[in-house]
Homo-oligomer: A and B are copies of this chain.
Amino acid sequence: MTLQETCNYLKEQDNILILCHQSPDGDTLGCGFGLYYALTALGKKAQVVCSDPIPPQFGYLLPEEMPEITPDCVVAVDVADTQLLGKNLAQWADKVDLCIDHHSSNRMYAKRTLLRGADAAACQIMIEVIEGLGVKPDKKIANCIYTGLCTDTGCFQYSNVTAHTMRVAADMMDLGADAHWINWKMFGTKSRARIAMEREVLDSLVYAAGGKIAVIAVTAEMLARTGAVESELDGLSSIPREIEGVEVGVTLREKTGGYKISLRTGENIDASKVCAVFGGGGHARAAGCFIADSLEESRAKIIEAAKKACEEAGV
């Protein structure tokens, strides 16, 4: 669907249920509530729902109250696959009328899809939808859109950022977005449990192959000791690969019966090939697998495979 068609479709709807993906992040929530404020500004009824509770740090995105509606139209935002709706929204999986997304892996499960795979964030599309609906974005909408932009780009750091992304963020700042405050909330603060987990994984760090391989571990014992929850582990697995000279960054995460392995590689090593040795897969720069063994054995096995890959690549 084109942007114009999407806006025309939305203009005709009322009682719109907006679905965010499970384990909600700034982009799906920014999109959801941004669209909510735009639709209600047009006098329509809308409701944003998510399978999981909305993490407290996103509280500023929420309206003061949001009455339940009986939906005539269902819109999914930033949801690439119906599985990502989560179990509490599974009932809507085959009833999505419109999906607005930026994942090129989108499964095209919705009746209508506005997909722009090259956009840094779904919010980068959503602001055009909002303007296309004839709504002048206010501060609340600007905060929603800015939140999606900054969280999906690591605060404008990742390779998905384009000059256009920067200009949309600038426009949101002009519209009153509390950019610095949002940046601080999203990137400037860490919970005590998160800090404790960072200490734990740095304590677990080992190098191999003369520093070309770096491995950290996240064990059940660490989680018990720190009290960290799932969302407090975000991004830990990128630590090893960020170390100078490291070609293969490995994170071992303890699961029932063994270790889930997450691999990040530089441009010389194909992460998916290394993981394929253990029946896993993924992308060239990021892949995963499972090894049903102890920490020591799992670590030794993945290091062995990574070493071999380094040798074959001549690094």
Residues of A within 8 A of B (CB): 154-159, 161-164, 166-167, 169-171, 173-174, 179-180, 183-184, 187-192, 195, 198-199, 202-203, 205, 207, 211, 239, 242-245
Contact = CB atoms under 8 A, between A and B. Distances in A.
Contacts of A179: 161
A199 B192 contact: no
A156 to B, nearest CB: 5
Nearest to A238: B188
Contacts of A198: 198, 202
Contact of A195 (B156, B157, B243): B243
B203 A199 contact: yes
11 contacts: A155-B156, A157-B183, A164-B170, A166-B169, A166-B170, A170-B170, A189-B243, A192-B243, A195-B202, A195-B243, A198-B202
A242 B184 CA distance: 9
Contacts of A156: 155-156, 169, 183
Contacts of A195: 202, 205, 239, 243
A120 B159 CA distance: 23
Which of A170, A190, A211, A242 gathers the greatest number of chain B CB atoms within 10 Å? Answer: A170
A127 to B, nearest CB: 14
Instruction: Determine the main DSSP class of A at the interface with B.
Output: helix
Contact of A155 (B155, B173, B184, B211): B155
Contacts of A173: 162-163, 166
A188 B266 CA distance: 12
Task: Report the 5 A-B pairs with minimum CB-CB distance, sorted nearest first.
Answer: A199-B202, A166-B170, A163-B170, A163-B173, A159-B180
A216 to B, nearest CB: 10
Which of A169, A190, A195, A242 neighbours the largest number of chain B CB atoms within 10 Å of its CB?
A195
Contacts of A188: 157, 242
A314 to B, nearest CB: 22
Contact of A244 (B162, B192, B211): B192
Contacts of A164: 170
Nearest to A159: B180
A202 B171 CA distance: 39
Nearest to A211: B192
